[in-house]
Structure 1
Amino acid sequence: MPTQYHIKCRPGDVAECVLLPGDPARVEVIASHWDSAHKVAENREYVTYTGTYKGAPISCMSTGIGCPSTAIGIEELARCGATTFLRVGTCGTFQDHVKVGDLAIFDSAVREDGTSKAYAPVEFPAVASVDVVNACIQAAKSHDVLAHVGTTRSADTFYASHPAPGSSFGGYWQSNWKQRFEDLRRMNVIAAEMEASTIFVLARVWGLRAGGVSVVLDNMMKLGEEADEFDPEAQLDHSAAYINKLAVVGSEAVRILHEAG
Structure 2
Amino acid sequence: MPLSPSELILNEDGSIYHLNLRPEDIATTIITVGDRDRVVQVSKYFDSVEIKKGKREFLTHTGYLNGKRLTVISTGIGTDNIDIVLNELDALANIDFSTRSVNKNHIRFKIVRIGTSGAIQSEIPVDSFLISEYAIGFDGLLHWYKNQNDRYLEFEDAFIAQTAWHPNKARPYIVKYSSELRNFFKDNHIRLGVTATSAGFYGPQGRSLRITPHGSDLLQKIMRFNYQNKQITNLEMETSGLYALSRLLGHQAISLNCILANRATGEFSKNPSKSIDELITFVLQKLTSH
CA contact 1:181–1:220 (8 Å) conserved in 2: no
| Rounded Cα–Cα distance in structure 2 between residues aligned with 1:39 and 1:172 | 45
The unaligned stretches of length 5 or more in structure 2 are 1-9, 94-107, 154-172
- For residue 279 of structure 2, what is the aligned residue in structure 1? 246
Q: Which of 49, 60, 69 is the aligned partner of 1:48?
A: 60
116-125 or 41-50: which moved more? Answer: 116-125
Distance 1:194 1:134, change over 3 A: same
- For residue 131 of structure 1, what is the aligned residue in structure 2? 180
Q: Which of 88, 103, 109 is the aligned partner of 1:76?
A: 88
Q: Deviations over 1:201-231 (max 9, x none)?
A: 11111111111101001112234xxxxxxxx
Matched, 1:99 2:122: no
| Rounded Cα–Cα distance in structure 1 between residues aligned with 2:117 and 2:284 | 19
The unaligned stretches of length 5 or more in structure 1 are 224-233
Alignment of 1:177-196 (within 5 A): 177-183=219-225, 187-196=230-239
- For residue 22 of structure 1, what is the aligned residue in structure 2? 34
Q: Deviations over 1:176-219 (max 9, x none)?
A: 43233332697422221111111111111111111110100111
47-56 or 123-132: which moved more? Answer: 123-132
| Rounded Cα–Cα distance in structure 2 between residues aligned with 1:155 and 1:207 | 24
Residue identity (%): 23
| Rounded Cα–Cα distance in structure 1 between residues aligned with 2:218 and 2:197 | 18
- For residue 211 of structure 2, what is the aligned residue in structure 1? 169
| Rounded Cα–Cα distance in structure 2 between residues aligned with 1:91 and 1:238 | 14
Give 1:134's aligned amino acid. N
CA contact 1:154–1:197 (8 Å) conserved in 2: yes
CA contact 1:106–1:133 (8 Å) conserved in 2: no
| Deviation, structure 1 residue 235 | 4.1
> Which structure is larger by alpha-carbon Rg, 1 or 2?
2
- For residue 156 of structure 2, what is the aligned residue in structure 1? none
DSSP 3-state at the match of 1:101: coil
- For residue 200 of structure 1, what is the aligned residue in structure 2? 243
CA contact 1:136–1:213 (8 Å) conserved in 2: no
CA contact 2:117–2:261 (8 Å) conserved in 1: yes
Q: Which has the higher helix share?
A: 1
Aligned length: 239
| Rounded Cα–Cα distance in structure 2 between residues aligned with 1:94 and 1:41 | 36
| Rounded Cα–Cα distance in structure 2 between residues aligned with 1:173 and 1:31 | 42
CA contact 2:126–2:268 (8 Å) conserved in 1: no
| Rounded Cα–Cα distance in structure 1 between residues aligned with 2:278 and 2:76 | 21
| Deviation, structure 1 residue 168 | 4.3
| Rounded Cα–Cα distance in structure 2 between residues aligned with 1:216 and 1:240 | 12
Give 2:206's aligned amino acid. H
Give 1:37's aligned amino acid. V
Matched, 1:215 2:258: yes
TM-score calculated relative to the size of structure 1: 0.83
105-114 or 56-65: which moved more? Answer: 105-114
Give 2:177's aligned amino acid. A
| Rounded Cα–Cα distance in structure 2 between residues aligned with 1:8 and 1:238 | 34
DSSP 3-state at the match of 1:70: helix
Matched, 1:59 2:74: no
CA contact 1:163–1:177 (8 Å) conserved in 2: no
Coordinate RMSD, CA, aligned = 2.3
TM-score calculated relative to the size of structure 2: 0.75
DSSP 3-state at the match of 2:113: strand
CA contact 2:33–2:73 (8 Å) conserved in 1: yes
Distance 1:181 1:47, change over 3 A: same
Distance 1:238 1:113, change over 3 A: farther
DSSP 3-state at the match of 1:172: coil
Give 1:63's aligned amino acid. T
